[in-house]
Copies of this chain bind each other. A is one copy, B any other.
């Protein structure tokens, strides 16, 4: 079979553009309406997309003024979406910073059981001081330490998913054998951050384990993703940058003893789609004009770790510290710094560039132009697929599914129907046996 794209719909409230909720193409009441999200899942499934996905964070600025942030917690929201769909994958972000592996493993196992094998976990390490302060921790946790904790966390979670072998649940009413005790195992983990006896209190997930997703692009982030992730969401602004990242991560994966195919790379794209290129650019401009500079300066300050809230909008960025001093999201910091520097942007221009997707690239054009662009990245070796970030919802996803997907399908670049029932299956990954299963020699 020819290589085909993998497409994930990255959903955020009424759209990724920070001013989406103020635009007439959205209805702000949808933010608090679970049926809005259920309809989005059904829409993604009509488009045969691999998955839908929610970002997450465990803090909010009390001075929140303009925001399309989550009202709902991702795992519960995706559960509600699971009940009205049959095939589309369901990926939730959850942090290794402040949760416990036992409860996280169990929640994802439950989503996987409820959805019949469609759960995915986007692993984040939580860089913000605001999040730390909600869990009794003072200051920003050290970058390298976060990744060490994340690695141990993932090791424990996957061991817990393995702790019931695939066929451990027997359910034989006649003999009264509920589960086979020889196929349910304590994990007896004793590590730097966690001590966990196990087994997990639920049978093995339908998929064996949920799909593991990651988005780190720093050095530690790339190593972590190359070692553990089965799909990587990444922000790449040019096809050259995308190719370099793609090559780098695939070769790291091979160094970790994996096949290059075991990890799918999905750069983000915020598509503005209209019947003509001019109309698409005009649509994008409408959203830019609704941006609140005050809110954006707060966002930019958080992204860079530098207070810009009193900075003049029509001046360039002030000098920024070297990346070695950054403990937060290093790759996003570098991306924004490079973007501002290379194009000599004023703060106002930078804010407009970032408004669509917080550093992910926007693309305005016809459905044909969007398809051409995705095909280019795919065939040039910059992507295995894409993280589609509709600037407004549901309209932006309706246009992508209704107009771009059929073009990709006609070109043979995307499935015309699902061929698998699980999320791992959509991404071309096999069900993995439990580490405790002894196979015959």
Q: Select the residue from A38, A71, A181, A200 with max chain B CB neighbours within 10 A.
A: A71
Report how far A179 CA is from B32 CA in the complex, Å.
Answer: 13
> Which residues of B are found within 8 Å of A186, using beta-carbon distances?
62
Min distance, Cβ A336 to any Cβ of chain B, angstroms: 23
> Which residues of B are found within 8 Å of A134, using beta-carbon distances?
102, 196-198
The answer to whether A28 touches B80 (Cβ under 8 A) is no
Would A72 and B179 be within 8 Å (CB), given that A100-B135, A136-B194 are in contact? no
A342 contacts chain B at the CB level, 8 A cutoff: no
The answer to whether A64 touches B171 (Cβ under 8 A) is no
> Which residues of B are found within 8 Å of A32, using beta-carbon distances?
113, 169, 203
Report how far A182 CA is from B99 CA in the complex, Å.
Answer: 30
What is the size category of the interface that chain A forms with chain B?
35 or more
Q: Which residue of B lies closest to A194 (CB)?
A: B136
A84 contacts chain B at the CB level, 8 A cutoff: yes
Within 8 A of B (CB), among A24-68: 28-29, 31-32, 34, 38, 57-60, 62-67
Report how far A77 CA is from B109 CA in the complex, Å.
Answer: 11
> Which residues of B are found within 8 Å of A200, using beta-carbon distances?
60
Q: 0/1 per residue, A391-426, Cβ < 8 Å to B?
A: 000000000000000000000000000000000000
A111 contacts chain B at the CB level, 8 A cutoff: yes
A176 contacts chain B at the CB level, 8 A cutoff: yes
Min distance, Cβ A39 to any Cβ of chain B, angstroms: 13
The answer to whether A76 touches B111 (Cβ under 8 A) is yes
Min distance, Cβ A348 to any Cβ of chain B, angstroms: 17
Report how far A176 CA is from B63 CA in the complex, Å.
Answer: 14
A173 contacts chain B at the CB level, 8 A cutoff: yes
Q: Which residue of B lies closest to A195 (CB)?
A: B136
Q: 0/1 per residue, A65-95, Cβ < 8 Å to B?
A: 1110111110111011011100000000000
Min distance, Cβ A402 to any Cβ of chain B, angstroms: 25
A98 contacts chain B at the CB level, 8 A cutoff: yes
The answer to whether B64 touches A184 (Cβ under 8 A) is yes
Of the candidates B114, B178, B194, which one forms a contact with A67 in the assembled complex, judged by CB atoms under 8 Å apart? Answer: B178
Would A21 and B77 be within 8 Å (CB), given that A62-B186, A72-B114, A195-B136 are in contact? no
Min distance, Cβ A357 to any Cβ of chain B, angstroms: 19
Report how far A415 CA is from B339 CA in the complex, Å.
Answer: 64
The answer to whether A77 touches B28 (Cβ under 8 A) is no
The answer to whether A106 touches B73 (Cβ under 8 A) is yes
> Which residues of B are found within 8 Å of A100, using beta-carbon distances?
98-99, 135
> Which residues of B are found within 8 Å of A194, using beta-carbon distances?
136
Q: Which residue of B lies closest to A95 (CB)?
A: B103
The answer to whether B181 touches A102 (Cβ under 8 A) is no
Min distance, Cβ A38 to any Cβ of chain B, angstroms: 8
> Which residues of B are found within 8 Å of A103, using beta-carbon distances?
58, 98-99
Min distance, Cβ A228 to any Cβ of chain B, angstroms: 22
Report how far A73 CA is from B205 CA in the complex, Å.
Answer: 12
Min distance, Cβ A300 to any Cβ of chain B, angstroms: 17
A177 contacts chain B at the CB level, 8 A cutoff: yes
Report how far A99 CA is from B58 CA in the complex, Å.
Answer: 14
Report how far A169 CA is from B84 CA in the complex, Å.
Answer: 28
A431 contacts chain B at the CB level, 8 A cutoff: no
Min distance, Cβ A80 to any Cβ of chain B, angstroms: 5
Q: Which residue of B lies closest to A177 (CB)?
A: B65
Min distance, Cβ A95 to any Cβ of chain B, angstroms: 9
> Which residues of B are found within 8 Å of A72, using beta-carbon distances?
110, 113-114, 202
Report how far A203 CA is from B134 CA in the complex, Å.
Answer: 16
CB-defined A-B contacts under 8 Å, sample of 25: A22-B173, A22-B176, A34-B83, A38-B83, A58-B201, A59-B201, A65-B176, A66-B178, A67-B179, A69-B201, A71-B110, A71-B202, A72-B110, A72-B113, A72-B114, A73-B110, A75-B76, A76-B111, A80-B114, A98-B102, A99-B100, A130-B197, A133-B196, A133-B197, A134-B196
Apart from A72-B110, A135-B196, what are 13 other A-B pairs with CB-CB below 8 Å? Answer: A22-B174, A58-B201, A59-B201, A60-B200, A64-B179, A67-B178, A72-B113, A73-B106, A79-B79, A99-B103, A130-B197, A134-B197, A176-B290
Pairs of residues from A and B, 4 with the lowest C-beta to C-beta distance, nearest first:
A73-B110, A133-B197, A136-B195, A60-B201
